[in-house]
Chains A and B, each alone.
Chain A
């Protein structure tokens, strides 16, 4: 990706519009994260765990507020749409696993899959954005990174208890959720409009701010595979799952 890093005042209207669409995705994603953690509270019988989920929900809400503030400073109005087709699909998946009383599935969706995309996208944007916007994206990206460690430890224990069952569950979740996430950065969409871009799909305009769809996709999948490696998932399995994602 090219480095743009121009000051906010020097951005063209087209560049501002790209950042507006990127912020729409970030804010909506954080709010989906907040709702996901809030829904997961009931999966945990112990108050400490419930408090952790609520704190995580509050953290995601805080992130969305910081992105909103960054949007205001940039002079753009992001679209916040929790019913946006891709995000709704992901939210529906998570709620299905909440209803099935499956905290491991929920952790995998929220802490591994969604966070892989969030972390990599935020850092990629931070690398090309102007000072203030870069700072916000980088700081939130780092915060997303910090709370993934606990989940990895929990998931490692779960894998060690029954590798086959864990990897089977993960594969199903991968097909369910990662297919949607990958499609958000693929060349073709299965929906007419993502529900968050102001006009036409932003993917084709990302290069105006030094980003590109293929690199964002690659960074996210690299992060995802590395997280699965840390958990101990067999490398050949995770690669075979990623190999069949939409390109």
Chain B
């Protein structure tokens, strides 16, 4: 894209793309209302529901990333599929799958070399096995997400003076791509590994691989394992949690790593320490030029799934690094972590909806 006529400033071609969707109507409202501008009244949710389902997937924001403050920035785009929160709650329809496909086409139109699939788009793209044109590599972003979750849990334990080998770690969604990667990374490092997932057969298969490293228990009923857990990693993606965190230890550490982040809804006890898992930060900056995307309490931070595309672009590796279907090994997590840190990325200071953890501020 971009003109080549003398005197005309061409639009910088983005080298990477992040494809995603919003998790709530309020997030969608914030984007649409900012686009409408201050002169126009905010749209009601009913009006948004009339408009948003018809918006074709498209770039809604452009940003730059850099490995260091003085390094030359790389250009990226955020492409929203406009899959609505209502559509997320249902079984994927052809219309939703088309939105993922059109989101990928939008990345191709932009000229991106690598695109990371965030939230539900990675699950859907994996299921559809969408082909890309020759220049675009698709990555699910799940390897970097897993790496950030693992480092996040380690960081939380360290900040709270807890030793992982004395903890019972529960992974909810343990057979998913991210959940299984986390289970493999923590195998043998905690007192017990508790794995919960809906599919019994896959769960047992995953557990069998890990039992040689240490104690592993499984259940298809989350509540059975919650009572035993002192650390919880939740990587389920559901509009609302289907379990009550109040059943786990009162001082439990909870890594909310699903999408949407809704674990706060699942507990009434403020003593449980919840943080948003899978969040990374770029030392050289992640600068948005539009102001329409949601922001986090920590500057220059974003979801790991979105950052994986930026990391691969900065490393010059335009490849489908994460391809889904439970193939993420601890070695691949380590490889991605080394790539990411070499690109100036680190774990974002732990935070939740209320803000950055006080322990992070004190440290």
Interfacial residues, chain A to chain B (CB-CB below 8 A): 159-164, 214, 217-219, 221-222, 225-226, 229, 232, 234-236, 238-240, 242-244, 247
Contacts and interface: CB of A to CB of B under 8 A. Distances in A.
Contacts of B35: 236, 239-240, 243-244
Interface stretch (B3-11, B263-271, B319-327, B352-360): B3-11
Interface of B: 1-5, 8-11, 32, 35-37, 40, 43, 47, 50-51, 53-56, 58-62, 79, 106, 109, 290, 292
In the complex, which of the residues A159, A219, A243 has the most CB atoms of chain B within 10 Å of its own CB atom?
A: A243
Contacts, number: 76
B56 A225 contact: yes
B43 A247 contact: yes
A236 B61 contact: yes
Nearest to A238: B58
Give the interface SS of chain A, mostly helix, strand, loop or mixed: helix
A222 B55 contact: yes
A239 B10 contact: no
Contacts of A240: 35-36
Contacts of B2: 163
A164 B53 CA distance: 29
Contacts of B106: 229, 235
Contacts of A239: 35, 55, 58, 60
Contact of A247 (B1, B8, B47, B60): B47
A8 B141 CA distance: 55
B58 A244 contact: no
A234 B43 CA distance: 23
A203 B62 CA distance: 38
Nearest to B109: A229
A178 B43 CA distance: 19
A222 B54 CA distance: 6
B5 A218 contact: no
A184 to B, nearest CB: 15
A229 B4 CA distance: 19
